[in-house]
Homo-oligomer: A and B are copies of this chain.
């Protein structure tokens, strides 16, 4: 069968972003308010069309920079100045997922340290960090008693998948350090695990585990008291990306 351009239907391809961070002991995701139909006024995940000459990862990194100012951190490159971790999550292509047309969305997962207020095209009121539980509870009421509208499109499903990916991946990788500033303490890293998993971990066992895994953490020599209490050693993320044996998520 020869090549026939009419043999396949055209699709629009977008990237959507699940951008996660830890703020005030809670796992939060970036949400933007939709300014146009469909779902006008509702919260949604940031995203946009993939351009004609752009790779999927490039498109995701571009959208991430537009929405947050974050520089995507290539997992291969060692530098991690202001870079966020970025990886592909999954692709969503239900024919009915966008009422306007056939859209296939390649969702990406980005993890970032706690940041100043988000910006969405310069308009702060149209972007916010919200706890993932708040974004995921469908038709409930938020902390302020206001009714919560579910996320636009299938974005609740995408967000849930991204959260689950993050929760499981910090078990066996050093991904949790992506939520931390370049230098951090063992306690700060533990609070990341506690926020992402929503559990309390024993500080002593956690300390033994992370400091006893070769290549996971490298001490910088400095100390800090920014958490109060006794000064804590500062560490950087070591070269080890895989955590073996894994950190076990406590049973419920």
Contact = CB atoms under 8 A, between A and B. Distances in A.
Interface of A: 1-3, 5, 7-14, 36-37, 49-56, 88, 90-95, 100-102, 104, 106, 245-246, 248
Given A11-B50, A55-B95, 16 more contacts: A2-B36, A8-B14, A9-B50, A9-B52, A10-B10, A11-B11, A13-B104, A50-B93, A50-B104, A53-B95, A55-B94, A56-B92, A56-B94, A88-B91, A93-B106, A104-B104
B10 A95 contact: no
9 contacts: A8-B14, A8-B49, A9-B49, A10-B10, A11-B12, A11-B50, A13-B13, A52-B102, A55-B95
Contact of A10 (B7, B11, B91): B11
A246 B246 CA distance: 10
Contacts of A93: 13, 50, 55-56, 106
Contacts of A92: 56
Which secondary structure dominates where chain A touches chain B? loop
B3 A12 contact: no
Contacts of A94: 55-56
B54 A95 contact: yes
Nearest to A52: B9
Contact of A7 (B11, B13, B49, B55): B49
Contacts of A50: 9, 11, 93, 104
Contacts of A13: 8, 11, 13, 93, 104
A223 B182 CA distance: 58
A54 B91 CA distance: 14
Contacts of A248: 245
